[in-house]
Structure 1
Amino acid sequence: MGYRRLNRLRKMLLFFSINVLSVVMIGCREQRQHQVPNVPVDEVIFLNLPSSLPLQAPGGWIYHPGGFRGLLIYRAFFNGNADDFRAFDRTCPSHINEPCGLVHVSDDNIISRCGCDSAGYILFDGTPEAGNQSLPLKQYRVQFFGNSIRVFN
């Protein structure tokens, strides 16, 4: 009787130890960090200028100087607030220093593609397209002021 109780206690201890070890191992897993360099970004884009005309409608986008290798500004909604706009660095997360490492908006105005390997990124939030194991596009903060937006970090 004592042997069975001791054996049962050992199994419970082993089960508990494995679970604790699993939790610790998952918690210690290396976090993937963005390798796109942090550069100061503070750009104001006036929405009433002809160059910004595409941003007047949802799904519209423009390229703008700034960031590490340029900015991609995308209008997702038409609610009249900062949540309408997304601002991403144009640098491909997997090809940071390569000449081909810029994203370009595809014809569907929903996906941007890396010039090196055609990896896709969804413009709504910058996440990689299905099957793309890359990090998401580097995103910047946006403030909306009615006729202008401010892109900054």
Structure 2
Amino acid sequence: MKILKAFDIKELILVFTGVLTIIGCNPTNVNYDIPEPFVDETIYLSDPSSFNLTVIGGQLYLPNAGHGGIMIYRRYYDQAFYDFAAYELACPYDWADGCGILSSSNGDLYLTCGCNSHQYQLLDGQSIDTSYTLPVKEFNCTFDGINIIRISN
């Protein structure tokens, strides 16, 4: 009987891991008005310009990617696929305005919109104000667990 219970727990863990694999580092399933440019970026952690991404909370700004740039943020240090997030830096609501770019400094916990100073959490892209329902647009990203981060849409 104990073997059966242990087997059931192992199955549950396997299913849970599979679900995390499917949903990890995937874009949010929200409709945005922001135009969707083609995104296909490869980042190497061994590159000196990516040094900030070697620690939790590290950020890397890609100014020529996405609509308003892309911010890569290291959420965890588990050497797993979900370690990184890649966010579109066009403000979800004010993207068409000249001030509609999100910004952050290394060590910040938030992205801040240049138009209205509204803030979004870097950990998951959600607004800190519940009256704003759109999160920051998140791109697909994969991490090989060692050196290569791939960002795409």
TM-score (norm 1): 0.74
Shift of 1:74: 0.3
> Which runs of no fewer than 5 residues in structure 1 stay unpaired?
1-31
- Tell me what 2:24 maps to: none
Name the CA distance, whole Å, in 2 between partners of 1:95 and 1:33.
Answer: 15
- Tell me what 1:5 maps to: none
Shift of 1:94: 1.0
- Tell me what 1:88 maps to: 87
Alignment of 1:46-125 (within 5 A): 46-64=44-62, 65-106=64-105, 108-125=107-124
Structure 1's 140 and 107: CA in aligned 2 closer, same or farther, altered over 3 A? Answer: closer
- Tell me what 1:14 maps to: none
Rg comparison, structure with higher value: 1
Structure 1's 46 and 36: CA in aligned 2 closer, same or farther, altered over 3 A? Answer: same
Amino acid at match of 1:104: S
> Which runs of no fewer than 5 residues in structure 2 stay unpaired?
1-29
Choose between structure 1 and 2 for higher RCO, CA contacts under 8 A separated by at least 6 residues. Answer: 2
CA contact (8 A) 1:36 1:96 kept: yes
| Aligned-pair identity (%) | 34
RMSD of aligned alpha carbons: 1.6
Name the CA distance, whole Å, in 1 between partners of 2:31 and 2:152.
Answer: 19
What is the CA deviation profile of residues 55-107 of structure 1, one whole-angstrom value per residue up to 9, with x for unaligned ones?
00111111113111110100000010120000010000111111111111157
- Tell me what 1:130 maps to: 129
